[in-house]
Chain A
Amino acid sequence: MNRRTGARPLLIGLAVLLTAILVVAPLVFIFVQALSQGWAVYAKNILDPLTLHAIWLTAAVAVVVVPATVAFGIAASWALAKFSFPGRGVLATLIEIPFSVSPIIAGICYLLLYGRQGLLGGWLAEHDIAILFALPGIILVTMFVTAPFVVREVLPLMRAQGSDQEQAAVTLGASGWQLFRRVTLPNIRWALLYGAVLATARAVGEFGGVAVVSGNVRGQTNTLPLHVELLFNDLNAVGAFAAATTLTLIALVALVVKAVLEGRR
């Protein structure tokens, strides 16, 4: 009993201390640095056309990628949870690959596939289609990286629920679409939103994979995380940290939304 009561405050204290050192302090430091020369300089840096373009580009990528990830997540979960077919286990494993592979590998794969010397590079160049060092490349790599996020949340839930409710809806005369919209979707909505929030956070913050395929052209293919790195390399610390605050704020909002959703589930 004595040992337990002694260990408890110690463990809690350690956890709080480590969280403070490893997580809270760097976060606070971002804001301290960004505002170190006052609000006016901060605003000037945020409103810099190149930074604004990076914010816009990042948002555009997320707007395209997240709905695609959600659609893919629903389709894949549905197929894996409600049907049995040859290769089901393989498909389930394949979907998890982006989790286990470093994003930079994904970037390099796309480079090998779509690059000038790549498998499809010649054909793409002939038809004047730019994938690498352009928006499509960034979107594709981000999609790859975020692909498992929704499946991971939705699939276990669908598996646990089984298909009795869907079968009940079918016997009551529901069409495929009515069944999906009125029975399946409401049952997975919180898991779906939760997965979408996580995917958004990841899509916005993706660095490694995008770094390989974007080409880092300022004002054109520079997403926010890449822009932060460029500014930092330019020794523009305030600019870098100012840009970083927008990323941090997006992450914090995502966290709050996630916490709220977890409460709803």
Chain B
Amino acid sequence: MTIDISSMHKSFGQTEVLRGIDLSVDKGELVALLGPSGSGKTTLLRIIAGLEWPDAGGLHVDGQDWLALSAAQRRIGFVFQNYALFPHMIVRDNIAFGLTVRPRAERPDRRRIAATVDELLHFLQIDALGGRYPAQLSGGQRQRVALGRAMAIEPTVLLLDEPFGALDAAVRRDLRRWLRGVHDATGTTTIFVTHDQEEAFELADRVVVMGAGRIEQIGNADRIHDHPASPFVAGFMGATIELPVTIRAGRAGTALADTARLPAQALADGPARMFLRPEDVAPAADPAGPWQVASLSSTGPQIRLILRDTAGTEIPADLRRRAPGAAALTPGTRVQLHPEAAAIFPADA
């Protein structure tokens, strides 16, 4: 199913949560909505599901106006963050729910429903859990049941709200790979919401970065990582160090870093903002350098330095402990920065 969202707006009271969203999702695509909390990503997902209604804008799926349909009519599969399994039903009945509530004329008979549930249990690799209650399952198992319940109705679109939010790291990684497999096997158009970059990039074909009710950038991991479209995306992607620079003839210049290794910028002359990741700071001992190592901590393979300039500004810098020249970076050493990668935006961006 192709999903088309156009100039969508939504406010809760005085708070504008969506400020004009335009987005197209292709048939069979797996798309992540990535953003910090409050960016509007969950609201957008719930509008697609029919659990919220926008104040303005359009939502068309395969050309059909979905804003004219109720949640039940859209036949979407929605997986809730906390799974929202029915606690008084065993796993089998949870999965069968969407089939058993159909009007009699459309409802498959008992045997067909049982067969569908068997198939799903097998597909989700939880064959043995059919007779258990949700309270008797682990988080990862609940997640699978929730997905099975959503898939049982053969949804037009699969929507997942923070699908791995409540799970521990190891289970998250397993389930991520597994969900990708499920998607590849079924080909259902899928949108999921997450605040975890790694999760978004590992799982999705395309990542939609949202911030404060707007789409900031759409792309794959490399594109968003190397070429953030806005200071917000740069910061959200980990480039949290901001230094003021001046652009002259396409080159950024500052006394706070050696910018010779940075590529040329297509920016007009004038003041600009440079964003760096702690791992891209590339500090090197230099008696004339503007920074001084204020402190140092090691995690074994990595060291983190806190650098301080004469104005008292502090920035973090990460590097490999065994990197050439790293041993010289002891507290009190003066250093210069030699970044090779940075995101630079005009000062008014």
A186 to B153, CA, bound (A): 23
A165 to B134, CA, bound (A): 13
Q: Nearest A residue to B88 by beta-carbon distance? A: A186
A165 to B87, CA, bound (A): 9
CB of B338 to closest CB in A, whole Å: 51
Check if B84 is an interface residue, CB within 8 A of chain A: yes
Check if B51 is an interface residue, CB within 8 A of chain A: yes
- Given A172-B97, A178-B101, A167 and B72 contact (CB-CB distance below 8 Å): no
Q: Nearest B residue to A183 by beta-carbon distance? A: B86
B101 touches A175 (CB 8 A): yes
B84 touches A172 (CB 8 A): no
Residues 84-101 of chain B: 1 if any A CB is under 8 Å from the residue's CB, otherwise 0?
Answer: 111110000000011001
Check if A168 is an interface residue, CB within 8 A of chain B: yes
| A contact residues around B98 at 8 Å (CB) | 172-173
| A contact residues around B337 at 8 Å (CB) | none
- Given A164-B80, A178-B101, A170 and B71 contact (CB-CB distance below 8 Å): yes
Check if B120 is an interface residue, CB within 8 A of chain A: no
- Given A186-B88, A187-B87, A173 and B72 contact (CB-CB distance below 8 Å): yes
A67 to B72, CA, bound (A): 32
A165 to B150, CA, bound (A): 13
A173 CB contact (under 8 Å) in B51, B82, B84, B153: B153
Check if B215 is an interface residue, CB within 8 A of chain A: no
Residues 64-79 of chain B: 1 if any A CB is under 8 Å from the residue's CB, otherwise 0?
Answer: 0000001110111110
A174 to B78, CA, bound (A): 14
CB of B85 to closest CB in A, whole Å: 8
A178 to B153, CA, bound (A): 16
B84 touches A165 (CB 8 A): yes
Check if A182 is an interface residue, CB within 8 A of chain B: yes
A183 to B134, CA, bound (A): 14
Q: Nearest B residue to A174 by beta-carbon distance? A: B101
**Which of A178, A183, A187 has its CB near the most chain B CB atoms (within 10 A)?**
A183
B88 touches A187 (CB 8 A): yes
A164 to B161, CA, bound (A): 12
- The B interface, classified by DSSP as helix, strand, loop or mixed, is loop
A171 touches B102 (CB 8 A): no
| B contact residues around A174 at 8 Å (CB) | 72, 97, 101
- Given A164-B80, A178-B101, A182-B101, A171 and B49 contact (CB-CB distance below 8 Å): yes
- Which residues between 176 and 197 of chain A lie within 8 Å of chain B, taking CB atoms? 178, 182-183, 186-187
B51 CB contact (under 8 Å) in A165, A167, A175: A167
A169 to B85, CA, bound (A): 9
| A contact residues around B88 at 8 Å (CB) | 186-187
B80 CB contact (under 8 Å) in A167, A178, A187: A167
Residues 259-299 of chain B: 1 if any A CB is under 8 Å from the residue's CB, otherwise 0?
Answer: 00000000000000000000000000000000000000000
| B contact residues around A186 at 8 Å (CB) | 86, 88
A171 touches B72 (CB 8 A): yes
A169 CB contact (under 8 Å) in B49, B82, B97: B97
A164 to B84, CA, bound (A): 6
A172 touches B51 (CB 8 A): no
A169 to B70, CA, bound (A): 13
Kindly list 14 other residue pairs between chains A and B, CB separation below 8 angstroms, not including A167-B84, A173-B101.
A164-B84, A167-B51, A168-B78, A168-B80, A168-B86, A169-B97, A170-B51, A170-B71, A172-B72, A172-B101, A173-B75, A174-B101, A182-B101, A186-B86
20 A–B contacts, CB within 8 A, in A order: A164-B84, A165-B85, A167-B51, A167-B71, A168-B84, A168-B85, A168-B86, A168-B149, A170-B51, A171-B49, A171-B76, A172-B149, A172-B150, A173-B72, A173-B153, A175-B72, A175-B101, A182-B86, A186-B86, A187-B87
